Structure 1
C-alpha cells in the first residue's frame, strides 16, 4: 500500500501540490506560535542592575492560587517587596558568600530647564550588584547627598558639586551631587542615596526590592539557588539565576511573557483550526477530481477500507514532507512575529526567542495529524460508493450530502447563533471573544453544509448571468451542476472575509463603546497630569486655587481576582481605579450604595462584576503588589468599561503601587469661576510640581487604554498572518481547480465555443463565486456584530471605517478573479485536440 501511495503521489503531483502548500504554510504558522509560547515560558531579557551577582531573590511576581494551573497565573503590576529579615536565612545557606539588599523606587530628576527625567532610586550599598563604580567624586555619606549614573548626569546637565532636585512622592527636594558613577545601565537611570534615606524614600521600611546573593569561589550558582529556595520555602519569593534575573529587575518582562504566551496560544489554536479547514477543502477538491480513478478501484474489488487507507497513505507522504519543511520555516516566521510584537510594544526589544525542539516536533505532528484527519473526512464518501454504482456515480457530481455532515453543519450553525447572543448578557473581553468565535463556528457550519447551502445561492445569483450571452449561460449552468466544486472554492473566500471583518469591527465596537462611556462618565472641567505621575499633594494644591470647586485624585492600578467554578480555579487581572472625591468630576452611574462611603478597606464594583453580591458583602482580591485585601462592598455602578470593574479608595490604591503617586487629578470649577484665570492658576502649579500639565476632559483615557490599543494591533497582526495564509490557500485551491479543467475547456471548444467565449464564461463564473463569497462572508459576521453593538452601546450599526471593509472585500474579490482567470488563460493555450486527450 505504501509503494502504491507513493506512485499515486508521483503521478498526481499537481493534484497534491495544493495540499502540500496548505500543510506547509499551516505547519509554519503553528510552529511559529509554538516557538513564541516556549519563549513566553523560558525566555528573558539581559539583566543590568544584577549583572555582577549570580543569584537574585525577589518578591513573587505572579498570583497563582492553589489549584490554579500555570496558564491561569496572573502577573502583578507592581513588584512586591521582600522582608529584610530574610537576609539572615539566605546568608546561612551553604555556599552563600554575601547577601546585599537592594532598595528600589521610582524617582524623577528635575533638569535646569524644568524638564523631568524618570529614574529609579537605590541605596548605594546595592551598587555592587551592577557593579556601579564612582568615576568622579565619592559615594554618598549623608542624607542630602546623591550619586547619579553617567547617563543621567549628561541628560540632567549636572556634575559633581551641583544641586539636583529630585521628586519621589512630594515636591522636589534638592540633593548635592557628590559622585558620578558608571556601569551597565542602558535601559534605565539610577540615583543612589544612603541606605537610611533610600529606605525612607521607598515608602516600604523594613522591606527591599530584592537580594543579590554572591556565592563562594568554585560553588555552582544553580545549586546555591536550589538551596535558597528550600531555605525560603513557604515565603512569597522568587529565586532567579542566569537569564531569569532580568525578570526580577524588569517587572514588565513577566507581564510580556504572560501576554506573549496567551497571544501565541490563542493564535496557534486559530491557525490550526484554519489549517484543518483549508487542508480539508484542498484535499476534498483533489479527491473529487479523482472520482473516476477511485470508482475504477472500487469496480475492481477495492474495499472501502482500502480506499480510505490509500488516500490516507498518499496524504501522509505529502504531509510528512510539507510538515517537515513547515516546521523548519516556523523558526523564521516566529522571528518575524517576534519583531512585529516588539514593534507594537507587546514584548521588549531584547526579549530573545527560545527555540527548542518541542514546538517544532509538536507542529510537525499536528500538521501531519491535521492532514490525516482532513484526508479521512474527505475519503469517506468515495470509499463508500458501491462497486456497481461506481462508474455511474463518477460520471456526475454527487447530489446529496452524508447524514453526519448535515447534522454536524446544522449543529455548528446553531452553536454559532448561540455564541452570538452572549454579548446581550455580558460585556468586555468575553463578549468580543464569543462574537469572533460565533463567526468562525458559523463559517465551519456553512462549509459542512457545502452544496446544500450553496445551491440555492447559486440559483439566485446565476439567474442574471443567463442573460449575459453564451459566457453567462455556461457559467450559470456550470455553477448549478457543480455546486460541490463551487462550495470548495467559496469556503476559503468566505472565511477570509468573515474572519477579517469580525476581528476588525469587534475591536472598533469595543473602542467606540469605551469612548462613549468615558465621555458620559467624565464630568470634570480639567485634567492635571505629568510624566511619571503626580504627587499626592497636587490634589490638595488644586483645591486651593480660586475658582476650583473640587479636585479628585485618580490612581490607575490593577487588581487580581480569583474565582472557582467547580474544581477549576480562574485568576483574572482587571483594571481598577482609585479615587477620593467623586461628585462633580466623575459620574460612574451608581446603581446601589454610595461612593461617599468609599474609604478605608472598601470597594465599589461594576454591577455585572458584583452579580450575586449585596452592599456590605466582603470582596477578596489581590492588590497591584500582590497584597491580599478583604474589602467591604459599598457601591455598585454601571460604567465599568470607562474606568474598570473595581473602584478603590485612593489611599489604598496608591499605597500598593510602586510609584505611590497619582495618575491624574480631575478638577471641577465653580459656576462663577473665571475659567481662563483659573486655568492659568492651575498651570502655575507646575512651578511647584515640575512636569505638570493642564488638559481638558479628553485627556483622560480608559484605565486599560494602552492594553486595548496593544490588543488591537495584536489582532491586526493575527488577522494579517491568517489572511495571508488563507489568501495563498485560496489562490492555491482555485488555481489548481481551474487548471485541472483543461479537458472541460477543450470539450467546449471542440463543440464550437470560441476561446473568448470560454474566457467570458470563466469570468462570469469568477464573478458568481466572488459575489456569493462576499454576500455570505458579510452576512455571517453582520448578525453577531450587530448583537455586539446592541450589547455594548444599544446600537446595531457597525463602527469603524467602511474603507477597511471595502478593502477586505476588494482584496478578496481581486484574489478570486485572478486565481480563476489566469489559469484559464494558461489552460486555453493548449490545442483542444491535444487537451481532450490529456489524462484527467
Structure 2
C-alpha cells in the first residue's frame, strides 16, 4: 500500500511504540529499542522505537518525514474515534483501477466518499497538492481574464497606430471603389495572418513561461517545490483560440475608422489627421470613466475581497474609458504643456509642442499603453499592501493583551491556555483558534461556495485581551452552540441577536447556531466568532493558533513573562512576544497571495512593456520623411534628437500623470474605506520605480528609433514612400 517496508525491528504494537523512517532515525541518532520524545499536541510524549522503515529507494521521503504508530494510538492522536482519513483499496489481478473505482462508487455512494485513482490520489495524501491545484486554477482564470482584456486593449491601440500610418493606402483603396466591408476584411485577414504565427510561437513559449512561474511560486513557498506541471495540448489550443479571438476583436475595433471614410473625402482625410471624435465614441468613453469612478466607491460600502476586487477592476475600467476618448484628453493636456516646452527650448521645444498638438491621435496611441502599465502596476501593488496594512492595524488596535503566545512548530495544545491561567499574576488567557466557515450561494444551475475567515475564542476569557468593537450582545455568552457575527454580515443576512444562523464549518459539517453578539472589527477577527471548543472540534489538528495573556493589575510584567517562557520546557517551540507583536489573521496566506499576485503581475507587465516599446518605436519609425524635411529646411540633427526627447518626456509624462490619477482615485477611496486615511500603505520607492521605469522606457524606445531614423541622408529619406 505504501512504499515503506521494515528495515529493522518490528511494527508498533503498543500505545508507546513508534516506527521512524531511516532518514529521520539517522538524523536523530536513534536505533531500535531507544526512547524518543515526540511532540503530540505541542506537548512532548515518550515513545519506544520498535522499528526502522525505509521506502523502496533511499532512506526517506523528499517532502516529509514518516512516523508509524499502532492503529489505536493513531486514532487517538487524530482525535477521530471510529473514523479514518482514507481507506486504501488494492485491485485484484486483471481488474483496472478505473473499473474498481466505479464499483466502489456504486456500492458506497458519492455523497459519502470521494474515490480517487492514479495521480488524483495525491490530493488525498498531500492536502497542499489539492490546494495548489485550486490556487493555480483560480490564478489562471483571474489573470488569464486580465491578460486577455489587456491584450485586446494593447493590440487595438497598436493596430490603430499601424492603420493610422497607412491612411493614404486605405484612402486610395476607398477612392478606387473598395467597399467598407472589403477594407475591414483586408485588415482582419492581415491581422489574423500575423496572429496565427504569433499565437503558435506564443503557445510554445508559454510552456517555458509556465515552468518559470512554477519555479518562482515554488521558490516563494506558494506551491510545493516538487509540484509537477501537467503539459497537454488542450491549454495550448485554448490559448491559441483565445489569442486569435482577441486579435480579431482588436482588428474589428481598429478597422471601423478607415472603413467608414466616404470615397469623396478619402484623399483629403488622409492628408490631415482628423481631430474630431465620433459622438458615440465620446459617450462610451465618458460612460466607462463614470462607471469606473462609481465602482471605485464600492470599498466604502463593501469590505473584504469583494471591495478589493472592485477597487482593482475600477482602475482598469477608467483606463479603458480614457483610452476611448484619449485623443481629446491628450489634446487638452498638450495645450497646457505646450507653453512649457516652448519656453524650455525655442526650437526643439516649439517643434515638439507643435507635433503633439497636430498629431493628438498618434500621441494618444503611444500614451495609452504606458498609462495602462503605470496604473495597473500601482493599483495591483498598493491595493495589496493597503489591505494587509488595514488588517494588521485593526488587529493591533483590537488586541489589548500584554503577551502573545505562539508556537514555532505548529499549533498550541489547549493545555497551554489552562497552564497559563494557573500562573500567578495572570488575569486572563484567551485561546485563539483561526479557522473558516463556508456559505453556499445558488447561481442558476450551480452552487457557489464562499469561504470566510473566522476565529474561535473563549468567551469567558476575552476580557482585557480583545476589543472586537462590540455593537450588540455580549461575548461572554459565546459558549456552546452560539456564534457572533460582524455587523455587516449580520445585516446582509438580516440576523438579529437571538436568531438562528446556518452555515458550514471549515470541515464541511453543517452548523445551526444562535447569534449572541455583533461587532465591527471584522478585518481583525473575520466575519464569524465561534466558541473555542466548537472551532477546535472542526479543525484538522484540534489546536490553538495562539494564546493572548492579560496581566493582573499590579503584577510585574517581567515576572509573568519569565513564567510564560518557562512553559517552553513542557511545550517545545513555545514563543512569548509582547501584545503589540500580534499578527493579523492569515498573515502567511495573505503574504503568499501577495507574492503570487506580484509574480503574475510581473508577467503581464512584461507583456505590456514589450507592447509599449513596440508602439513607441512604430510611432517614430514612420516619421523618417518628416525628420528629413526638418533637416533640409535647416534643423540640425541634434535639434531633431532634442525635439524627440521632449516628445518622449511629454508622452511618458502625460501617461504617468494619467496612470497615477487613474490608480490614485480607487486607492484613495480604498484606503478611506479600510484605514480611514487617504494615503496608500506601502513603500514610496515602488511608486518612484514605476514612474522612473516608464520614463526610462519611453526615452530609450524613442531615442533608439529616432537615431535609426536619422541614419539616412535627408535627400534620400525625403524620397522614401510613406
- Equivalent position of 1:516 in the other structure: 393
- Equivalent position of 2:286 in the other structure: 410
Tell whether the 8 Å contact from 1:576 to 1:703 is kept in structure 2 after alignment: no
Matches of 1:307 and 1:756, distance apart in 2: 40
Matches of 2:496 and 2:310, distance apart in 1: 28
Q: Work out whether 1:624 is the aligned partner of 2:503.
A: no
* TM-score between the two structures when normalised by the length of structure 1: 0.83
- Equivalent position of 1:395 in the other structure: 271
Cα displacement (A) at 1:270:
0.6
Q: Work out whether 1:527 is the aligned partner of 2:399.
A: no
Query: Residue deviations 1:307-337, cap 9 Å, x none?
Result: 1111111111111111111112111111111
- Equivalent position of 2:477 in the other structure: 597
In the TM superposition, 1:674-685 aligns within 5 A as: 674-685=556-567
- Equivalent position of 1:776 in the other structure: 658
Q: Work out whether 1:352 is the aligned partner of 2:225.
A: no
Matches of 2:109 and 2:96, distance apart in 1: 20
In the TM superposition, 1:129-168 aligns within 5 A as: 129-168=1-40
Q: Which moved more, 1:688-697 or 1:286-295?
A: 688-697
Q: Which moved more, 1:639-648 or 1:810-819?
A: 639-648
Matches of 1:375 and 1:689, distance apart in 2: 66
Matches of 1:833 and 1:132, distance apart in 2: 82
Tell whether the 8 Å contact from 1:294 to 1:307 is kept in structure 2 after alignment: yes
Matches of 1:456 and 1:536, distance apart in 2: 66
Matches of 1:769 and 1:532, distance apart in 2: 53
- Equivalent position of 1:342 in the other structure: 218
- Equivalent position of 2:379 in the other structure: 502
Query: Residue deviations 1:251-274, cap 9 Å, x none?
Result: 121111111111111110111111
Matches of 2:530 and 2:95, distance apart in 1: 48
Q: Work out whether 1:695 is the aligned partner of 2:577.
A: yes
Matches of 1:672 and 1:158, distance apart in 2: 48
Cα displacement (A) at 1:234:
4.3
In the TM superposition, 1:263-662 aligns within 5 A as: 263-467=139-343, 468-530=345-407, 531-564=409-442, 569-580=447-458, 581-611=461-491, 612-662=494-544
In the TM superposition, 1:227-266 aligns within 5 A as: 227-266=103-142
Matches of 1:641 and 1:233, distance apart in 2: 40
- Equivalent position of 1:51 in the other structure: none
Matches of 1:206 and 1:687, distance apart in 2: 33
Matches of 1:141 and 1:780, distance apart in 2: 68
- Equivalent position of 1:106 in the other structure: none
Matches of 2:176 and 2:449, distance apart in 1: 61
Matches of 1:424 and 1:143, distance apart in 2: 57
Unaligned stretches of 5+ in structure 2?
Answer: none
Cα displacement (A) at 1:824:
0.9
Tell whether the 8 Å contact from 2:470 to 2:520 is kept in structure 1 after alignment: yes
- Residue 68 of structure 2, aligned match among 192, 202, 212: 192
Tell whether the 8 Å contact from 2:483 to 2:530 is kept in structure 1 after alignment: yes
Matches of 2:245 and 2:39, distance apart in 1: 60
Indicate the SS of the match to 1:212. coil
- Equivalent position of 2:590 in the other structure: 708
Tell whether the 8 Å contact from 1:514 to 1:702 is kept in structure 2 after alignment: yes
Cα displacement (A) at 1:794:
1.1
- Residue 49 of structure 2, aligned match among 170, 177, 200: 177
Matches of 2:600 and 2:441, distance apart in 1: 30
Matches of 1:385 and 1:692, distance apart in 2: 76
Matches of 1:148 and 1:301, distance apart in 2: 85
Indicate the SS of the match to 2:116. strand
Matches of 1:757 and 1:721, distance apart in 2: 38
Tell whether the 8 Å contact from 1:260 to 1:347 is kept in structure 2 after alignment: no
Cα displacement (A) at 1:133:
2.0
Q: Work out whether 1:809 is the aligned partner of 2:685.
A: no
Query: Residue deviations 1:65-93, cap 9 Å, x none?
Result: xxxxxxxxxxxxxxxxxxxxxxxxxxxxx
- Equivalent position of 2:632 in the other structure: 750
Query: Residue deviations 1:435-483, cap 9 Å, x none?
Result: 1111101010011012111111110112211122111111111110000
Matches of 2:639 and 2:48, distance apart in 1: 89
Unaligned stretches of 5+ in structure 1?
Answer: 1-128
Pairs aligned (count): 712
In the TM superposition, 1:204-243 aligns within 5 A as: 204-243=80-119
Cα displacement (A) at 1:206:
0.8
Matches of 2:17 and 2:594, distance apart in 1: 46
Tell whether the 8 Å contact from 1:494 to 1:773 is kept in structure 2 after alignment: yes
- Equivalent position of 1:69 in the other structure: none
Matches of 1:160 and 1:214, distance apart in 2: 31
Matches of 1:217 and 1:256, distance apart in 2: 34
Tell whether the 8 Å contact from 1:260 to 1:346 is kept in structure 2 after alignment: no
Indicate the SS of the match to 1:609. helix
Cα displacement (A) at 1:362:
1.5
In the TM superposition, 1:37-116 aligns within 5 A as: none
In the TM superposition, 1:666-677 aligns within 5 A as: 666-677=548-559
Indicate the SS of the match to 1:207. coil
Matches of 1:828 and 1:399, distance apart in 2: 28
Indicate the SS of the match to 1:554. strand
Query: Residue deviations 1:119-173, cap 9 Å, x none?
Result: xxxxxxxxxx214322222222223222222223234332212122233237433
Using CA pairs under 8 Å that are at least 6 residues apart, name the structure with larger relative contact order, 1 or 2: 1
Indicate the SS of the match to 2:184. helix
Q: Which moved more, 1:147-156 or 1:381-390?
A: 147-156
Tell whether the 8 Å contact from 1:420 to 1:435 is kept in structure 2 after alignment: yes
In the TM superposition, 1:789-800 aligns within 5 A as: 789-800=671-682
Cα displacement (A) at 1:565:
6.0
Cα displacement (A) at 1:566:
6.8
Indicate the SS of the match to 2:115. strand
Matches of 2:3 and 2:599, distance apart in 1: 40
Q: Work out whether 1:728 is the aligned partner of 2:639.
A: no
Cα displacement (A) at 1:625:
1.9
Indicate the SS of the match to 2:159. helix
Cα displacement (A) at 1:191:
2.5
Indicate the SS of the match to 1:146. strand
Matches of 1:390 and 1:509, distance apart in 2: 52
Matches of 1:216 and 1:568, distance apart in 2: 38
Cα displacement (A) at 1:217:
1.5
Q: Work out whether 1:764 is the aligned partner of 2:641.
A: no
Tell whether the 8 Å contact from 1:617 to 1:632 is kept in structure 2 after alignment: yes
Matches of 2:29 and 2:580, distance apart in 1: 35
Tell whether the 8 Å contact from 1:458 to 1:479 is kept in structure 2 after alignment: yes
